[in-house]
Chains A and B, each alone.
Chain A
Amino acid sequence: MSAAQKSLSRGGRGAASGAGGLLSERELRRIIDSVLLLAESTDAEEAEVHVDEVEDSLTRFANNAIHQNVAEHGLTVSVRTVVDGRTARATTNRVDEDSLRGAIEASLSLAHSQPKDPRLLPVPGKQRYRKVERFARPTAALTPDDRARAVRRACDLAVKRGQVAAGIFASGESQTAMGNSRGLFATYRETHAEFSITMQEAPAASWAKANAANVRDFDPHELAERASEKAHRATNAQELPPGRYTVILEPSAVLDIVGFLFYDFAATALADKRSCLNDRMGKQVFGKNISIVDDAYHPLQLGAPFDGEGMPRERVLLVDRGVPKNLVYSRASAKLAKKKPTGHGFMLPNEHGEAPVNLVFRGGNTSVEEMIASTERGLLVTRLWYIREVDPYEKVMTGMTRDGLFLVENGRVSSAVRNFRFNQSLLEMLSNVEMLGPAVRASGEEAFEMVVPAMKVREFHFSEVTKF
């Protein structure tokens, strides 16, 4: 038995057999050490290993019943080798020695096939990471029966009100660990829980969603109640002409549209001249009430305190009172720009560089109710849908409103409105923000979770109306 085999056999996978449980940190380290040991007997000059493991479950319901109910366990080992100024990656989900050796060989074979890259950096050495605690036992302990009972309660509410419920209740745990031949080792694990519900009262529908590390941080039934009440209000929608309207965007609507802005803050995107911030850094691009940071340590954020290269994530002030101030950097883009890496790099090799992934907007203190009360005529938007980029430099986005669009008149919600298509520049939108709500952890479908406020925005551009 080779040293690597011994190491692997000690690691085993017994702790994770059956329906639950992730490998221990020690077991993860053993897999990484085994790969690094195997790589030592090849011509790889450096090696880097990522191990990712998920244990996820998702209960899906529609027509007031569970129709899909799934669970998965998955573990991947991803190896990057470096040889003579060349690098490549190979990934496998098998942890026997032959398979790990095969991944190393595949990575080396890919690496050898390419020209030398003079800009390739050596793998980083040991790093220090801030501790984050994002593993909640109540989430890890959730069973299929627990989820089914919560779903049943939401569906019973729908039946009682003559509505039809659809949605998901998901929970799971995941972990990632990485190590390299220069002694770097990083590990992170978290739990995640999510409840999303659409209540349909023909022909209308409304929606509510929450996502957190701890399942106790939201109440599925409260979300069901909220969606149900809004769906009822959304019936009898009237058609309004397209045009420019004052809008009150609930946090999910804000999240899903501003989510398309953030790759523009990657230093690589600017170097490639595909960012809307080319020639705009340091200028008053947004309103003075817009400030944005990327902060992996914010209490409402999830995610690892290190990036795909193993660098510690740093808090970065992206926008200060409407002025784009800083970008995020991988090690390579930092070197090119003579800056320090900020811990936002993707796993190498890749052509995209980096991106901020823990966005936090500075909020205000105006509630959605106060925004409504302050509005003579406008629209209250629950969420936005199918958002795509129309103009990458002016950052014009198109998409639809969905699941609850309401007319606000004289400080009150007066009626439901048929859904609109919008074509709206994000730069303009974030210059037209009149009021901000408290920043909350918002969840949508177009962008990853962020900490954003509700916003009251003037002159939001709706170009067409649909049939419902």
Chain B
Amino acid sequence: MPLRDGKIVMWDMAGQALETARVRGAKYADVRVMHLRQRDLTTKNGQVGTLAQSESIGLGIRVLAGGAWGFASTDRLTREGVSACAGRAVAIAKASAIAKRKEVVMAAEEAYVDSWQSPFRKDPFEIPLETQLALLLAADAEMRRVKGVTLTETDLQFRKIDSWFASSIGSRIHQRKMMSGCGIVATSFQGDEIQKRSYPNSFGGQHSLQGYELVESLELLKHAPRVAEEAVALHSAAQCPQKTGTLILGGSQLGLQIHESVGHPIELDRVLGEEANFAGTSFLTLDKLNKLRYGSEIVNVVADARLEHGPGLGSFAYDDEGVPAQCTDIIKGGEFRGYLSNRETAHLVGLARSSGTMRTESWNRLPIIRMTNISLLPGTWRSDDLIADTDDAILMETNRSWSIDDRRYQFQFSTEMGWEIKGGKKARMLKNPSYSGITTEFWNSCDAICDEREWVLWGTPNCGKGQPMQTMGTGHGASPARFRNIRIGAAFSES
């Protein structure tokens, strides 16, 4: 089955896998044929670092047989290879039944026949490589112009993913997603200190469901000198104090805070113990739904995979279980309102339907419950007014480290840079800022959120979960926000 025959071949393969599974005894099956293309470009200190392109195509089939699940995947896309893979999935499901405790109950879902493509203006795979590298090398050079910078790094990453989903209830869904990411980093080693600044975010920059227009919109060259100057200036900045006080978080850091202290705990598979051995469980036990005061009254969080929420890494038309994208209230007016569910877990929280959050990294991985775009909805403040309204606080920007316990109560974050806020004004720069706390106490201390003018849908491209490990991109909309009575500086404290 040559790839060049395109969609028809993909549907043939999917259909053949479903038919084999049915004949071998599967009561339900779904298949994903996926074609993934990726390009990575990096520079370091004015030289090209990574320059690589990859493609991967294969098929994965999940079956329910003997009342238990099995999954198999293959890159042998011949008639024999596909049949063997489907047969293997059924045999594995039957082995699963050796250690089965209950029947699988799946929420009802419609069958869909559809084709969807994420919108983009410029296909990054069509932009000349010379143009892309020239941009990175120019940004790299801008950073190296600043005295004291000891390491400069830039990166571009593009992914194009086609998936053909077919299920035994009759769905046939093709989706194409285009994703782009880019960022720059300046590092300075001086004395006994390594400091760095990243733009527009750390860990690879900003990532979204867009084409090359994302890269152009970020104006790397404009920001490169500032990033480099800040990295060097941090050496002479004052150490972030240790105290309990007011904290203002920049949008990208708040995005990661949402990811760790809201996004993961609301995953119903974690709540139900299915991740207990690896990623952990969740403090959000089922008794807390609609009862827990998660945050203050101005805290509203949604899980929104719909494109109208924005071009996030968690945006799609259908999840990898064939369920349409949805918007679910997670926190409304501070109250805990919803989990991320799939067809198997929805009924456990009284839902008639999955919230559409099953996602897979690739054809060789089982779809699991994943964050989509978990976003804090905008508040009412302008950032200038927020600063002016704050007598004494620390503003923290751009994540440097993140850690949270395996039930998602206690966290600690540090950021690349901080600013002291005194008397309603931005005062001196602070180095090594950090803050820590308990999830619900933190969100209940939120007393101001900036409005939609500063709301950005940040992309987290590197969320790890599952065994075998899967890396997934998630979206997190956030604008700067203020929190009271927060423990600051614990990462550098001495008891």
A positions within 8 Å CB-CB of B:
13, 16-19, 56-76, 78, 87-94, 96, 98-99, 106-107, 109-111, 113-115, 117, 119, 143-145, 147-149, 151-152, 155, 164, 166-168, 170, 196-198, 200, 205, 207, 242-244, 272-274, 278, 349-351, 385-394, 396, 398-400, 402-403, 419, 421, 423, 445, 461-468
Task: Given A349-B48, A445-B278, output 9 extra A-B contacts at Cβ < 8 Å.
Answer: A66-B98, A68-B69, A70-B71, A166-B274, A166-B276, A274-B194, A389-B401, A391-B492, A463-B493
Q: With an 8 A cutoff between CB atoms, is B56 at the interface?
A: yes
Asked if A92 meets B192 with Cβ closer than 8 Å, knowing A60-B467, A198-B277, A350-B49, the reply is no
Asked if A466 contacts B410 (CB within 8 A), the reply is yes
A-B contact pairs, 15 of them (CB 8 A): A69-B93, A70-B365, A113-B130, A144-B96, A148-B98, A170-B467, A273-B150, A273-B151, A274-B151, A351-B50, A385-B406, A398-B403, A400-B406, A462-B495, A467-B438
Asked if B54 contacts A91 (CB within 8 A), the reply is yes
Contact of B495 among A145, A244, A385 (CB under 8 A): A244
Q: Select from chain B the residue with minimum beta-carbon distance to A168.
A: B467
Asked if A388 contacts B401 (CB within 8 A), the reply is yes
Q: How far is the CA of A207 from the CA of B278 in the complex (A)?
A: 10
Q: Which residues of A contact B91 (CB under 8 A)?
A: 19, 144
Q: Which residues of B contact A70 (CB under 8 A)?
A: 70-73, 92, 365-366, 468
Asked if A152 contacts B72 (CB within 8 A), the reply is no
Q: With an 8 A cutoff between CB atoms, is B133 at the interface?
A: yes
Majority-rule SS of A interface residues: strand
Q: Which residues of B contact A59 (CB under 8 A)?
A: 95-96
Q: Select from chain B the residue with minimum beta-carbon distance to A20.
A: B88
Asked if B54 contacts A67 (CB within 8 A), the reply is no
Contact of A168 among B194, B277, B493 (CB under 8 A): B277
Query: Chain B nearest CB: distance from A336 CB in Å?
Result: 12
Between B278, B405, B414, the greatest number of chain A beta carbons within 10 A of the residue's beta carbon is seen for B405
Which 9 residue pairs across A and B have the least CB separation, nearest first?
A351-B49, A113-B129, A144-B95, A466-B410, A91-B54, A166-B276, A273-B189, A148-B98, A65-B101
Within 8 A of A (CB), among B421-451: 432, 434, 436, 438
How many residues of B sit at the interface, in one of the four size bands? Answer: 35 or more
Q: Which residues of A contact B192 (CB under 8 A)?
A: 393-394
Q: How far is the CA of A388 from the CA of B468 in the complex (A)?
A: 21
Q: Which residues of A contact B89 (CB under 8 A)?
A: 71
Contact of B189 among A58, A144, A393, A394 (CB under 8 A): A393
Q: With an 8 A cutoff between CB atoms, is B3 at the interface?
A: yes
Query: Chain B nearest CB: distance from A117 CB in Å?
Result: 7
Contact of A392 among B56, B98, B194, B468 (CB under 8 A): B194
> Interface 1/0s, chain B 39-62, versus A by CB < 8 A?
000111101111111111110100
Q: Which residues of B contact A66 (CB under 8 A)?
A: 68-69, 95-96, 98-100
Q: Select from chain B the residue with minimum beta-carbon distance to A209.
A: B277
Asked if A74 contacts B75 (CB within 8 A), the reply is yes
Asked if A110 meets B273 with Cβ closer than 8 Å, knowing A73-B73, A244-B495, the reply is no
Between B60, B187, B366, B495, the greatest number of chain A beta carbons within 10 A of the residue's beta carbon is seen for B495
Q: Which residues of B contact A273 (CB under 8 A)?
A: 150-151, 187, 189, 194
Between A62, A70, A78, A274, the greatest number of chain B beta carbons within 10 A of the residue's beta carbon is seen for A70
Q: Which residues of A contact B81 (CB under 8 A)?
A: 17
Asked if B44 contacts A58 (CB within 8 A), the reply is no
Contact of B468 among A58, A64, A65 (CB under 8 A): A58
Q: How far is the CA of A106 from the CA of B51 in the complex (A)?
A: 11
Q: Select from chain B the residue with minimum beta-carbon distance to A245.
A: B495
Q: Select from chain A the residue with minimum beta-carbon distance to B55.
A: A92
Query: Chain B nearest CB: distance from A280 CB in Å?
Result: 10
Query: Chain A nearest CB: distance from B441 CB in Å?
Result: 10
Q: How far is the CA of A466 from the CA of B408 in the complex (A)?
A: 10
Q: Which residues of A contact B92 (CB under 8 A)?
A: 57, 69-71, 144
Q: With an 8 A cutoff between CB atoms, is B483 at the interface?
A: no
